[in-house]
Chains A and B, each alone.
Chain A
Amino acid sequence: MFGRRRVNDSLAHVGRIHAADRDTALVLARETHFRHNEAVDYAVVRSDQLHHVDDKSILERHVDIDYRLQAGYSGFRDKRAAAREAAERRGMTDLQTRPAPGRDVSSEST
């Protein structure tokens, strides 16, 4: 059984159900898995149609892949200060009128 907790969420596995066929499974699922308002939507897949990766250790990484992650980029405060200083050395110091700080909506601000 797969359930969607809220409309914005993807389907996630919630458990199993024993039933003779698809329609029976869908009928019985409601009170088996979702009786506490756990979901806004649900779906069922026959368990013999679920194919696991043979060896899940293939997902383990033994080499740093930080460059693929946010963690691979850091030190922005210093880097911004260095770029600002470089700009000042070039005489690019005009402070033009701009929105007050705090209006920054980018995800990244540290």
Chain B
Amino acid sequence: MITAGIDKEVGASMANLIPARDEMDDRTAAFIDHVHGGGKVEARDWMPDTYRALNLKFIEMHANSEIMGALPEREWIARAPSLKRKRSLAAKVQDEVGHGQLIYRVAESLGKPRAEMYADLVAGRGRFHNVFHYPTHTWGDVACIGFLVDGAAIVTQRALTDTSYAPYLRVMRRVVAEESLHYRHGEDILLAMASGTDAQVDMLQEAVNRWWTPILHFFGTDVAREDDPSIFWGIKPRTNEESRQEWMTTYIPKLWDVGISLPDDQLAWDPETEVWSYTEPDWQELADLVKGEPSEATATRLWWKQQLAEHNDWIREVVLGDEPPVVAA
């Protein structure tokens, strides 16, 4: 569903990830020129190790996020308040799992078998986006994931339809098309709650308050274009802040329109500069969440995945057979 940035993770070794021109061999320099000129890269093309590694990390995290992203919403399929919502939510979560299937295939094309990525994820070694580390307390959280988180996903994924790695780009085109259905699903739930009883509106407002900081976090820290390795290597075309601003422009007025406020008294649009200002979230909180000990929700979800894997993985070989060879996507 998602993809933001590698952001701070690579901060320590950023110098190595953005080599100066005179540090590159000719082949790498030509590759960079190709990518910076809008050229695309296929799985079987030669690529620098750094490009392969950064892309794999980015895409694997994206695929993991689709799978882990299914879990917070999955808990509400059976709880959904009407038969219509049950089947819609089931279909939407199914699409997320399906996106995981597509995106893992792209990651595989960079050299890491899906079985290995799956094993890493279940064991708690796989990274995934911050927004999927949180619990879902009420149906209001389902509205927020459907409208705000998926909205953020659309912003970042649409940008990825211009990534340099062609197999990823092609899959993103398909994923973005399905995400716009998810966006409608999310807005539909949001509007129903916002038009509902006082209790429903309160439930929605409380959930928006909970999701505000996670969504600001989702886009990553404000890394300058020239300092972002993902941009240098042509993995993503836009900075984290550009994506965050675009999301704010699209989604904040929609919330205001239906009488939902946002829990930041510094939040404002400056018509002169055309920039949103907002209170800087605590970035340490994000680092702790994504890289530290798993949150309670994540620990529980991983525990379940581990239990289920232990009792059911015997069937994997029948379903999947021998892992297919890694080939072009």
Direct interface between A and B, CB < 8 A? yes
Q: What residues on B are CB-neighbors of A90 within 8 Å? A: 198, 201, 259
Assess the A76–B271 pair: CB atoms within 8 A.
no
A73-B185, A106-B151 known; A86+B259 contact, CB < 8 A: yes
Enumerate A57-92 residues with CB–CB distance to B below 8 Å. Answer: 67-70, 72-73, 76, 79-80, 82-88, 90, 92
- A73, A95, A107: the one contacting B188 at CB < 8 Å is A73
Counting chain B residues whose Cβ lies within 8 A of the other chain, the interface size class is 35 or more
Instruction: Compute how far the CA of A76 lies from the CA of B161 in the bound complex, rounded to whole angstroms.
Output: 27
A76-B191, A79-B191, A107-B183 known; A84+B258 contact, CB < 8 A: yes
Q: Of the listed stretches A6-14, A19-27, A28-36, A46-54, name the one at the interface; the rest are far from the partner chain.
A: A6-14
Q: What residues on B are CB-neighbors of A72 within 8 Å? A: 88
- B88, B161, B188, B250: the one contacting A104 at CB < 8 Å is B250
| CB proximity of B164 to chain A, nearest CB, Å | 10
Assess the B261–A92 pair: CB atoms within 8 A.
yes
Chain A interface, >50% SS class:
loop
Assess the B256–A98 pair: CB atoms within 8 A.
yes
A79-B195, A86-B195, A98-B269 known; A108+B184 contact, CB < 8 A: yes
Q: What residues on A are CB-neighbors of B246 within 8 Å? A: 105
- A97 in contact (CB, < 8 A): yes
What 4 pairs across the A-B complex have the smallest Cβ distances? A87-B259, A92-B259, A107-B180, A73-B184
Instruction: Compute how far the CA of A93 lies from the CA of B196 in the bound complex, rounded to whole angstroms.
Output: 17
- B63 in contact (CB, < 8 A): no
Assess the B166–A7 pair: CB atoms within 8 A.
yes
- Ordered by A's residue number, 20 sampled pairs between the chains whose C-beta atoms are within 8 Å are A8-B166, A8-B170, A76-B184, A76-B191, A80-B257, A82-B191, A85-B195, A86-B195, A86-B258, A87-B194, A88-B259, A92-B259, A92-B261, A97-B268, A99-B249, A104-B250, A105-B249, A106-B151, A106-B250, A107-B154
